[in-house]
């Protein structure tokens, strides 16, 4: 009689931290003969999909690159539209995020944002602070070079004040002065729209992340797209500089 095997092939765990460079809103709108702001509005719908999908797929941290420091150089009317959409999102979506158990945090240069937006951000972070289902990190008015420079400046000031010696400045101490201090580094980075560059995003934290580039424009990004990127992540061999 043939023995029945009790072995089961369990699905591999999802990456702990997924970061997404959301790209393609403008091209999505232009290809449909619509103003760019229509692409940003549809992109906000894709954000909802990504958050829900991340929860369903068991991701613990989801970081979204929402607006870079370089994006301030865009035409004034487009920046105004983006800030208006941000206000709307923060006013309407936080209650639902809280209901889903999502904790939301923001990284980036808040001093460049309007005071009312900063208040909405503070309220959102405070309201969701104890949630544990998903850690949602939004990079807003963010630049990685600026973040690293600020961390190095803070460490230099501490050294000048005699709080630490120069020899105590190392990878751990610098990481502890980044805005992502206490968070795990991203395991998987996804960039939509077919572009293949980092765009000043989490330069320190992405040292050993796996990258997946998709031609899908951000407004069309679906749960299936996220699941396929995670499947691709599982097909990679992560060696962190060692041999396989």
Which helix (H) or strand (E) segment holds residue 45: the answer is: helix 36-57
Instruction: Provide DSSP, 97-154.
Output: HHHTTEEEEEES-GGGS-HHHHHHHHHHHHHTTT--SEEEEEEEEE-HHHHHHHHHHH
Contacts of residue 161, defined as CB under 8 A and 6 or more positions apart, other chains included, come to none
Question: Measuring CA to CA, how many Å separate 60 from each of 20, 30, 74, 232?
Answer: 14, 34, 33, 18
How far apart CA 74 and CA 100 sit, in angstroms, is 34
The length of the chain, given as a count of residues? 244
Using alpha carbons, select from 63, 44, 65 the residue that is nearest to residue 54: 63
Residues carrying an active site annotation: 23, 71
Of 159, 157, 179, give the one whose Cα is nearest residue 167. Answer: 159
């Amino acid at each position: 009689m043939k023995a029945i095997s009790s072995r089961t092939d369990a699905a591999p765990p999802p990456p702990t931290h997924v970061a997404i460079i959301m790209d393609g809103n403008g091209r999505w709108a232009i290809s449909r003969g619509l103003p760019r702001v229509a692409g940003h509005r549809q992109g906000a719908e894709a954000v909802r999909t990504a958050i829900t999908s991340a929860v369903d797929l068991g991701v613990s941290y989801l970081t979204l690159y929402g607006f870079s420091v370089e994006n301030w150089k865009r035409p004034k009317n487009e920046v105004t539209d983006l800030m208006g959409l941000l206000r709307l999102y923060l006013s309407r979506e936080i209650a639902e995020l809280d209901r889903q158990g999502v904790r939301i945090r923001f990284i980036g240069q808040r001093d460049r944002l309007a005071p009312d937006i900063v208040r909405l951000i503070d309220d959102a972070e405070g309201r969701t602070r104890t949630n544990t289902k998903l850690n949602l990190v939004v990079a807003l008015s963010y630049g990685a070079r600026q973040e690293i420079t600020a961390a190095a400046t803070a460490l230099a000031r501490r050294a000048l004040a005699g709080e630490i010696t120069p020899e105590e400045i190392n990878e751990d101490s610098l990481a502890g002065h980044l805005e992502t201090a206490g968070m795990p580094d991203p395991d998987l980075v996804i960039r939509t729209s077919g572009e293949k560059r980092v765009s000043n995003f989490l330069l320190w934290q992405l040292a050993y992340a796996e990258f997946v580039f998709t031609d899908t424009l951000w407004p069309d990004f679906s749960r299936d797209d996220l699941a396929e990127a995670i499947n691709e992540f599982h097909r990679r061999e992560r060696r962190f500089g060692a041999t396989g």
